[in-house]
Structure 1
Amino acid sequence: MPAMNPRSLSLRALLLLGLCHKISRASTPELQSQPRQIAIVGGGIGGTAAAYYLRQEFGAGVKIDVFEPGHIGGRLATVKIGNQEYETGGSVIHPLNLHMKHFVEKLGIPPRQNVPTKVAIFNGKELTFEESDWFIINFLRMLWRYGFSLLRMQMWVESVLDRFMRIYQYQQYGYSFTTVQRLLHAMGGDSFLTLMNQTLEETMIDEGFSQIFLNDMVAPITRVNYGQSVRIHGFVGAVSLAGADSGLWAVDGGNKRVCSGLLYHSKSDLISAKVTSIAVKVRPSKTGTATSFYEVSYDGESGSAHSLYDIVVIATPLHQGMSDITFSGFSPPIPSHYPGRYHQTVSTLIHGTLNMSYLGTTEPASEFTVSDILTTDSEGCAINSLSSIDPVHIPKGYKRPPASQPKVWKVFSQQPLSQEQLQEMFLSWDFVSETRWLAYPSYRLPPRKTPPFILHNRLYYLNAVEWAASAMEMSTIAARNVALLAHHRWHQQKSKMDQEDLHTRIRTEL
């Protein structure tokens, strides 16, 4: 997410992260025996971060199993083209994503070498804007057409970010929240809840932005980040605009390396199997009182099996087309699918030579060095974006080739590209890889009722946070929140949950 002065804010937040690191663990007395076994369903960034934080909260004695039938990383994935790999899923991290920064530092994974980028806007027929190498030229163009709208947008997003950053302090002090709404309210008060209940378009028009600015500059950003228009709700819209900030980075070797590293560092056991059902079971305990467990049934290479767990964290979307888990023995019943749908984005990687006439420009391909072509919400524009992408590991001396040479392009679209569309966009190609992602919710209004973080006594749902916004850092925030919730509820520490006025209270404590 963007900020006017990311270096000072990042330093301040990182200091808080370091100073407060031991607070939650140091202030949590061991009130009862620790759980023996914890299951996590899903091996993406949310599931592996949950394993990391659960290990941090419950210590070395608990056994943690992570169930993942596919590859570790989930929606963080790569495709191999020639001798190099390229991101096909989540590709950028914001400089103020403090959990992700902490992970790469803890795991010793270096950030990817930065390669300068240039942006253009395409309306389906021609380029309406092309970024220059000269900052002053870009500034004057924007000033001439939109006044100070771009600067005002950055200031508005910064005001959202300033409140968003509070969550890092809350979590370092060990505070957690039982619902997405309470988490958002703790960060931004009623204003964040208002953002969830009106469109980005309505929000920005109320802030004084013109419809032309929204159509020309804001919609291309929401389309590349979420495949949707400015009619998404205001909170995810602010997250999307933050994702267009400068200073974005990625992990050397692919962002999925963070997931593998977290799994290893948490000393969790990976079970390559698909969870089919979760049932609540009641068993007598040593003290004579009944104790409930969760029976997790799953299918793996060696057949079907089941195991009992004290705590279960679901870190995969419980929505149509995303999960087939059934729940039995719960009162009230837990649905297999929550209402709402996930939006399809097709990620197509093409190694080929761009057809400049597709962009409606006469500029020579040898001089066209734009890396990211965003699109307006125009009729007849079949793609959401077209980007020249670099490998996940930047070799020494690497320089991005001009458009006159074959290179790897990534196209985001709502539907798979036809042969006719490929022929229209590229003069020639020798490799095409298509990935159909149900990558994030459809953020239409009126908003769906957000699923709870707590499905049952010790059954938690991490992906509820995606209905506020889907992003790597949002998943890690939810992972930490769920780990804290699981710890506090296990030890009956109600004072650490759903507390009001935390911003004022923590400032007083500091």
Structure 2
Amino acid sequence: MSLSNLSVKALLVLGICLVGRRSLASASEPPKKIAVIGAGIGGSSAAYFLRQEFGPSVKIDVYEAGTVGGRTATENVKGHDYEIGAAVIHPLNLHLKHFVETLGLSPRAEVKTKMAIFNGKELTFEESDWFIVNFIRMLWRYGFNSFRKPGWVEGILGKFMSIYQYQKLGYSFSSVEQLLHAVDADKLLNQTLEEAMLADGFSQVFINDIVTPNTRINFGLNAGLNAFVGVVSLADGTSGLWTVEGGNKRMSAGLLELSKAELIQARVISLKTSPSKSGAAANLYEVNYVGDSGSSHSLYDIVIIATPLHKGLSDISFSGFSPPIPSHFPGNFQQIVNTLVLGKLNMSYLGTDQKASDFLMSDILTTDNKALPFNSLASVGPVKVPQGYALPPASESKVWKMFSARPLSEEALGAIFESREGVWVKPWLAYPSYTPPLRRTPPFVLHDRLFYVNAIEWAASCMEMSAVSARNVALLAYNRWHGQTHKIDQEDLHTRLRGEL
């Protein structure tokens, strides 16, 4: 049938269909350019997830002023690299496991470790090679507290793990509170770990002797930190932890390559809105930066910030935004000094008369003693170890890692070590100071198409949380770009999607 024979009604229907299809095509066009600021695990995984969501045509630029990997970093000691940043991966860290498998990386060969607890005067607990010995010791002093703890932690993490299913189905959240509410964990932000555990029947002595040493090594605080980050800390105290062969920073480098993003070695100094030259209703974002070749700028449809917007960590200014966006959000990041010492331990410092040749404790945790100069002391292996490698006894010179709130004095180092061949110091503004109640976290959405990965750190800071946030932000960007509001901040997801999940 020719067009001339079509009725006016048919032409109208055809015209409406064509207009509708054209409008749909226009709405579904991907963005042309996306910027990611920061190339740590948050920024690199954001680039990877953005590529998955928006496809091959979008150009992704990743800005990094320092080293790719961010707070995953290594330090070279006498020809061998050692983790000096984020160190361990939990068996339930599904995003990180996916990255390692997709990138063809492998877990580092397992190195056997043994734990002891030090109160500043003596070792109050030493782990045995024999399970039954450890069982009897813990049962005698703490009853069933220590055996209830793994189930208590896994119960909370089990609920949190529903986030992976929500993300698989494309759901996203515009705030940390909304995300944690969806996994029934929001109430843990405004109570302490101590309060939560006491309410569930754990004893004060168990919290002081066993729980606090764990939170001190991971977050430099006692059990008075917020309960959610406390649970994350306790998860890091379980078995099955691992690290990437060659260093965890390899994940960031691999994800950038896999995302086919362009790495721009430059410091972003400001962001502002810029009218679109194409006449589109939405403005573009102008990213101004300084690199080796001087100052420059580029325009983007979407911008992802994956570096902490806090004093001492970034100084990005924002102009032309309504409401205004602060350069620094309120709250403080906590300094943790990571010190590597190649030397021999002074056994008398630990208050033990054991021979150094017989002392095989690798991880020495500490109770909440203000007089102690460090939070933890651990004998560590390099990021590349041969199969069958074992940590040497304390009688041999080896690498010890210490976390402390302040740089260790020469006097302190002299007391802790019998001899030293070298000292390497790395201070970090490592994570927020987790003191509840948490009034409000920064938002994931800073502006229409401007998103903030590091908002998640105010709930808990670790590599997997950064990856969860990166996935959430990539989904937010996609859902908001395509107007899929039904995929954002939905209530009762578990109940409504029970059949689908």
Q: Normalising by structure 2, what TM-score?
A: 0.94
Separation in 1, partners of 2:129, 2:413: 29
Contact 2:112–2:391 under 8 Å retained in 1? no
> How big is the shift at 1:350?
0.6
Partner of 2:220: 227
Separation in 2, partners of 1:291, 1:446: 38
> Which residue of the other structure, out of 191, 196, 200, is the alignment partner of 1:198?
191
> How big is the shift at 1:32?
2.3
> Which residue of the other structure, out of 201, 211, 218, is the alignment partner of 1:208?
201
Separation in 2, partners of 1:243, 1:210: 21
> RMSD of aligned C-alpha atoms?
1.2
What amino acid sits opposite 1:210 in the alignment?
A: S
Q: 1:170 to 1:82 in 2, by over 3 A?
A: same
Shifted more, 485-494 versus 30-39: the winner is: 30-39
Matches within 5 A, 1:423-502: 423-502=414-493
Q: Structure 1: where are the runs of 5+ without partners?
A: 1-27
> How big is the shift at 1:421?
0.5
Partner of 1:45: 41
1:181 equivalent in alignment to 2:177: yes
What amino acid sits opposite 2:216 in the alignment?
A: R
Q: 1:174 to 1:403 in 2, by over 3 A?
A: same
Shifted more, 443-452 versus 140-149: the winner is: 443-452
Q: 1:357 to 1:29 in 2, by over 3 A?
A: farther
> How big is the shift at 1:275?
0.4
1:236 equivalent in alignment to 2:229: yes
Separation in 1, partners of 2:282, 2:444: 22
Separation in 1, partners of 2:426, 2:264: 25
Contact 2:119–2:369 under 8 Å retained in 1? yes
Separation in 2, partners of 1:204, 1:409: 32
What amino acid sits opposite 2:193 in the alignment?
A: L
What amino acid sits opposite 1:363 in the alignment?
A: Q
What amino acid sits opposite 1:81 in the alignment?
A: V
1:278 equivalent in alignment to 2:274: no
> How big is the shift at 1:289?
4.1
> How big is the shift at 1:448?
3.9
Partner of 2:310: 319
What amino acid sits opposite 2:459 in the alignment?
A: A
Q: 1:261 to 1:41 in 2, by over 3 A?
A: same
Separation in 1, partners of 2:325, 2:147: 46
1:507 equivalent in alignment to 2:492: no
Q: Structure 2: where are the runs of 5+ without partners?
A: 1-23
Separation in 2, partners of 1:107, 1:505: 35
Partner of 2:382: 391
Partner of 1:94: 90
Contact 1:220–1:376 under 8 Å retained in 2? yes
Contact 1:284–1:290 under 8 Å retained in 2? no
> How big is the shift at 1:444?
0.6
Matches within 5 A, 1:297-308: 297-308=288-299
Partner of 1:108: 104
1:367 equivalent in alignment to 2:358: yes
> Which residue of the other structure, out of 251, 259, 265, is the alignment partner of 1:258?
251
Separation in 1, partners of 2:48, 2:379: 34
> How big is the shift at 1:447?
1.3
1:122 equivalent in alignment to 2:118: yes
Contact 1:319–1:336 under 8 Å retained in 2? yes
Once the two structures are superposed, residues 367-416 of structure 1 have per-residue CA deviations (whole angstroms, 9 ceiling, x without a partner) of 11111000000131121000000000012442211100000000000000
SS of the residue 1:440 aligns to: strand
Once the two structures are superposed, residues 249-300 of structure 1 have per-residue CA deviations (whole angstroms, 9 ceiling, x without a partner) of 0000000000000000000000000000001112342xx4443011101111
Partner of 1:407: 398
Partner of 1:11: none
Q: 1:264 to 1:427 in 2, by over 3 A?
A: same
Separation in 1, partners of 2:85, 2:155: 29
Question: May I ask how many residue pairs the two structures share in their alignment?
Answer: 478
What amino acid sits opposite 1:457 in the alignment?
A: D
Contact 1:340–1:448 under 8 Å retained in 2? no
SS of the residue 2:325 aligns to: coil
> How big is the shift at 1:83?
1.8
SS of the residue 1:337 aligns to: coil
Identity of aligned residues (%): 61
Contact 2:138–2:146 under 8 Å retained in 1? yes
Greater gyration radius: 2
Q: 1:309 to 1:289 in 2, by over 3 A?
A: closer
Contact 1:124–1:382 under 8 Å retained in 2? no
Contact 1:458–1:486 under 8 Å retained in 2? yes
